[in-house]
Amino acid sequence: MANALDGKVTLVTGAASGIGRATAIAFAKAGARAVVIADIDEEGLDETAQMVRDSGADALPVKTDVSRAADVENMVAKTISAFGRLDCAFNNAGTEGVMAPTADITEQNWDRTLDINLKGAWLCMKAELPHLLAADGGSIVNCSSVAGLVGFQGAGAYAASKHGMVGLTKSAALDYAPTGVRINAVCPGVIHTAMIDRVLANDPGMEPAFTAMEPVGRMGRAEEVADAVVWLCSDAASFVTGQAIAVDGGLVAR
């Protein structure tokens, strides 16, 4: 999708790794002028910054904990001060939290999972939207999950956060539809990133189970989600808003 985002100023959270890193690179390859990359992991951000520059865009790493309003406001303020505008944002930072049956979820795990995944996406949109409105027709994509569309055993806090993101995305899309700002979510299936590697490190026996969950017979690649995000941010998706699009190898089609 070369030129799909020609000259745009873009932002990706959770960009030190996985789907966020792949999307930052995809934004650059799609012609973005700049990619602001945010994460708590500064070392990973520096690596991503180099990859973005190698792919032809300006990169601005900003250390950010998306669950903290002051960090998120700083992330957007640095974007505007460096590039003067914001056109597209991928609110992707997330945690899998700790898997546990509902009655065994600790309050701390519940709060941390919801704070990063759900409150984080809201804080990002709250800070980004005034600038997207000023940019006259920007686009936001939030990273939900197939766990935002269906339930998963042992994933109560994670699934609640990701279902919440779908409701937040649809409501925000309606709030801003008349302005030309489009807001959508992607719902990845099992994508082989560090998040899945952490689960496999605890339970190597899960690999065949992950593959078996996918009707296409394999886990997805981060780049396959990134391509969907680029499309949603581009003018090719100009009539698409308020959607939660599964990028999942058919997982929720069963």
Residues that bind ligand NAD (CB under 6 A): 13-14, 16-20, 39-41, 44, 64-67, 92-95, 116, 143, 145, 188, 190-191, 193-196
Q: Which is nearer to ligand NAD, 5 or 159 (CB)?
A: 159
d(CA 182, CA 243): 10
Q: Which is nearer to ligand NAD, 16 or 230 (CB)?
A: 16
d(CA 35, CA 138): 15
Min dist. Cβ of residue 3 to ligand NAD (A): 26
Min dist. Cβ of residue 179 to ligand NAD (A): 26
Best CA proximity match to 92, nearest among 171, 20, 181, 182? 20
Q: Which is nearer to ligand NAD, 91 or 241 (CB)?
A: 91
Q: Which of the following is catalytic: 27, 83, 158, 231?
A: 158
- Give yes or no: 176 in active site: no
Q: Which is nearer to ligand NAD, 49 or 196 (CB)?
A: 196
Min dist. Cβ of residue 66 to ligand NAD (A): 4
* Catalytic positions: 158
